[in-house]
Structure 1
Amino acid sequence: MSEDAPPADKPSLLKPSISFGGFCEVIAFLSLSCTWLGSLGRHHWTLDLLSHFRLQYLVACALVLLFALIRRRTWLVIVTLISLLWNAQIIHAFHQTAEKAEPKAGKTLRVMTFNVMTGNENHVAAIEHVLKADADIVCLLEVDETWRLSLEPLRVKYPHRVEEMNDGNFGIACYTRLPLKSSEVRRFTIWGLPSVLLNLDHLGVPLTFIGTHPMPPMGGLSAREWRSQLAEIGIIAGTIEGEVIAVGDFNATPWCEGMRLLCEKSGLQFRCVDPVWPPTWGLKLPMMIPIDHVLVKGGLSLQKRVIGPEMGSDHRSVTAEITR
C-alpha cells in the first residue's frame, strides 16, 4: 500500500463556489439592507428612492424570517425581525391618521384626483368613471391634446375649469362646481411644470385647492427638481392660514423624504380615517406603490378614501370625502 496521499480534487468550474443556503443569506442581507438604507433618504436621492418600497420590504422580511428560522440562523432571525418591525411601524403610522366622525348633512366635500395617463386609449371609460364619482372638485393629470375632445362631458357638467394640456405627460385639468373666486397656474422647476391653484368658496368659508404633478425622482437632476417642487408647494400651502386641499400624483410615497419636506413646510397632513398606504400606481407590477394622494390642512379630514378600478391607466383614481 502506498503511503502517498491521494491527489486532491481539482477545482471544477462546474462546481458551485457557494451553497444554496449561503446564496440565500446573501440575498437576504441585500434585501434587509434596503430597509435601512431607505431610512437615510435625506442624505442622497438614491437612498430616498429605496424608501418607497416599504410594502415590498415587509413581505421580503417575512420570507427571510421564515428562511432564517428553518436554517436556524439566530443572527439572521434577530436582524430580520427588527427590520420587519421597522417596516411595519412605518406603514402602520399611515393606517389611520384621523378619527372617525359623523359628518353633518350637506357638509361633505368630495374630491377626486386621477392620473389618466397620456397613452391611455380608454378615454370613454375613464371619463365615465370620473362622471360617476360626481366629485365637487376633480383634478386630472397627464391630459394632453389627445384628451381635449374626451373632456367635453366634464366641461358640460362643471361650471368652472382650468386646463393646461400643452405639457405632455404633465398636462393638468381641474374642474369644480364650487363657487370660484380666482384661479392660477404656477410653474415649478427648470421644466416649468404646471400646478393649479383654485381659490374657492365652500359653504361660505374660503378654500384653497392645489393640484400638482412633480417629475419622477429617477435621476440626480430629476430628484432635485422633484424635491424642490414639493418644497415650493409646501411653502405656498404654509402661507395660507385657512383650509387647503392638495392633491395629485406626487410621485412620492407617504414615508419618503420628499413627502416629509412637503408636510413639514406646509402643515398639510393625510388626516384620513382609511389607510393611505394601499398602492395606487403599478398594481400589475411587483413594485406597486402609493403615490397619488389627497392632503388637507386647517381642520379638514378625510372620512372616506376610495381607490378606483383599472381604467387603462397605470394609476388608479383616488376619491376622498372631506369634512370639517
Structure 2
Amino acid sequence: MTDDAPPAAPPLPLKPFVSIGGLCEVIAFLSLGFTWLGSLGRYGWMCDLLSHFRLQYVVACAAVLLFALIRRRSWLGLAALISLLWNVQIVYAFHQTADTTGMAHEKPLRVMTFNVMTDNHNPVAAVSHAMQSDADIICLPEVDDTWRVALQPLRVKYPHHVEEMNSGHFGIACYTRLPVKSLEVRYYTVWRLPTIVMNLDHLGRPLTFIGTHPIPPMGEQDTREWRAQLSGIAALVAGLSGEVIVAGDLNATPWCEGMRLLRKKGGVDFHSLDPVWPPTWGLNLPMMIPIDHVLTKGGLTVQKRLLGPEMGSDHRSVTVEIMR
C-alpha cells in the first residue's frame, strides 16, 4: 500500500451549448420565417418592418438552400427554394415597371431627390452634387437651420423654391426652374411633418410635384403615423387629374405595406424602365434598402434612374429622367 493519491483525471472538455449545425439551422428557420412574416405587413407593424429586407432574404435563403443541400435536408432545401423564389419574384416585380410604348420624343424632365442628412459634415459637397445634377426639380429632405448658408447656391440657380427648415430631421426644401402656379406646405399626422406641394407648368401642361419625408416606421405608433402620412398624400394625389410626381425619402421599400397603400389609393406608381430595387439608404451596411423614390401619375414614365455617390449622407441621391 502507499499513501500516494491517484492522479486526478483530466477535466472533460466543455461541450458547446449549441453546435455549429444547430446554429445554422436556427439561422435557417429565422431566414425562412422572416420571409413569410414579412408578407403579412398589413396585419401588424412588426411584420411590415420585416418586409423591407427582401434583398437580404434572397441572399439568406440562397445560403440556407446551400446548407440544406450539404446536410442533405430535403425538407429544409424545399422550404428554402420556395422562399428564395418568393423573394426573387417580389424583387423582380420592380425591375422594370414601364415600357416605351407611345413615349414622346421631347427633352426629358430631370428630377432629383436627395436626403442630405441633417448631421452631414460636408454640406458644401452635398449641395454641389445637387447643383451638378442640373435637375429641373430638386427635393432635399433633412435640411434644418444649419443648412441655410450652404443652400444659397441653389437659391441663386433656381428662381422658385420652398424651404421648411423648422422640423428637425424632417425639414425639407424643394427647388425648381419650371414656371410656378402656386407653392404650399401641407402638414400631416400628429407630428405635423411638412410636405411641399408645387403646382407647375411642364411644357404647357399642369404638373403637380409633391416632396415628402414621413417618419420611419420603427414602432407601433410611428408606423401608424407613417401610414397616415402616405395615405394622406395618396388621397391628395387621387384628387388630381393631371401629371403628378411624388418624390422624397419615403422610408418605404417598393414591396412594403405603406408603399402599397400609396400606389393603390393614389394611383401613382414607379413607371420606370430602370429597376427601383437598388438600395439608397444604409451605405456600406448589410441592411441597406431602397427607400428614396420618385413615383409618377398621368402618363409620365421614368426612362432613366441614376443613384449618386456617397456625399456625407447615409442616403444616395436618386436622379431620374421623366418622359411623357
TM-score, normalised by the number of residues in structure 1:
0.94
Aligned ranges for residues 3-82 of structure 1 at < 5 Å? 14-82=14-82
Identical residues among aligned pairs (%): 70
Q: 1:170 to 1:18 in 2, by over 3 A?
A: closer
Q: 1:102 to 1:304 in 2, by over 3 A?
A: farther
Structure 2 CA distance for aligned equivalents of residues 42 and 71 of structure 1: 36
TM-superposed deviation, 1:103 = 6.0
TM-superposed deviation, 1:13 = 9.2
Structure 1 counterpart of 2:243: 243
Secondary structure at the residue paired with 1:247?
strand
Query: 1:103-145: per-residue Cα shift (whole Å, max 9, x none)?
Result: 6554310000000000001111111111110000000010001
Query: 1:176-224: per-residue Cα shift (whole Å, max 9, x none)?
Result: 0000000110000111000000000001100000000000001111110
Matching residue's letter, 1:146: T
Structure 2 CA distance for aligned equivalents of residues 145 and 212 of structure 1: 18
Conserved 8 A contact 1:90-1:255? yes
Structure 1 counterpart of 2:109: 109
Conserved 8 A contact 2:94-2:254? yes
Structure 1 counterpart of 2:319: 319
Conserved 8 A contact 2:273-2:304? yes
Structure 2 counterpart of 1:289: 289
Matching residue's letter, 2:109: L
TM-superposed deviation, 1:101 = 6.1
Conserved 8 A contact 1:247-1:294? yes
Conserved 8 A contact 2:248-2:294? yes
Query: 1:271-321: per-residue Cα shift (whole Å, max 9, x none)?
Result: 100000000000211000000000000100000000000000000000000
Structure 1 counterpart of 2:135: 135
Structure 2 counterpart of 1:306: 306
Alignment of 1:158 onto 2:150 = no
Conserved 8 A contact 2:245-2:294? yes
Conserved 8 A contact 2:106-2:323? no
Structure 2 CA distance for aligned equivalents of residues 132 and 104 of structure 1: 26
Secondary structure at the residue paired with 1:316?
coil
The range that moved more, 86-95 or 99-108, is: 99-108
Structure 1 CA distance for aligned equivalents of residues 312 and 20 of structure 2: 41
Q: 1:40 to 1:106 in 2, by over 3 A?
A: same
Structure 2 CA distance for aligned equivalents of residues 275 and 60 of structure 1: 21
Q: 1:187 to 1:117 in 2, by over 3 A?
A: same
Structure 2 CA distance for aligned equivalents of residues 252 and 101 of structure 1: 29
Conserved 8 A contact 2:136-2:177? yes
Structure 2 counterpart of 1:176: 176
Structure 1 counterpart of 2:232: 232
TM-superposed deviation, 1:22 = 2.4
Count of matched residue pairs? 314
Alignment of 1:210 onto 2:210 = yes
Structure 2 CA distance for aligned equivalents of residues 319 and 64 of structure 1: 36
TM-score, normalised by the number of residues in structure 2:
0.94
Structure 2 counterpart of 1:6: none
Conserved 8 A contact 2:281-2:290? yes
Secondary structure at the residue paired with 1:116?
coil
Conserved 8 A contact 1:110-1:320? yes
TM-superposed deviation, 1:100 = 3.5
Secondary structure at the residue paired with 2:210?
strand
Which consecutive unaligned segments of at least 5 residues does structure 1 have? 1-11
Structure 2 CA distance for aligned equivalents of residues 80 and 106 of structure 1: 47
Conserved 8 A contact 1:101-1:303? no
Matching residue's letter, 2:307: I
Structure 1 CA distance for aligned equivalents of residues 45 and 13 of structure 2: 40
Query: 1:14-63: per-residue Cα shift (whole Å, max 9, x none)?
Result: 22354322221121011110000000000000100000000000000111
How well do the aligned residues superpose, as a CA RMSD in angstroms? 1.4
Conserved 8 A contact 1:199-1:209? yes
Structure 2 counterpart of 1:5: none
Q: Which runs of 4+ in 1 moved over 6 A?
A: none
Structure 2 counterpart of 1:255: 255
Secondary structure at the residue paired with 1:206?
strand
Structure 1 counterpart of 2:223: 223
Structure 1 CA distance for aligned equivalents of residues 18 and 203 of structure 2: 69
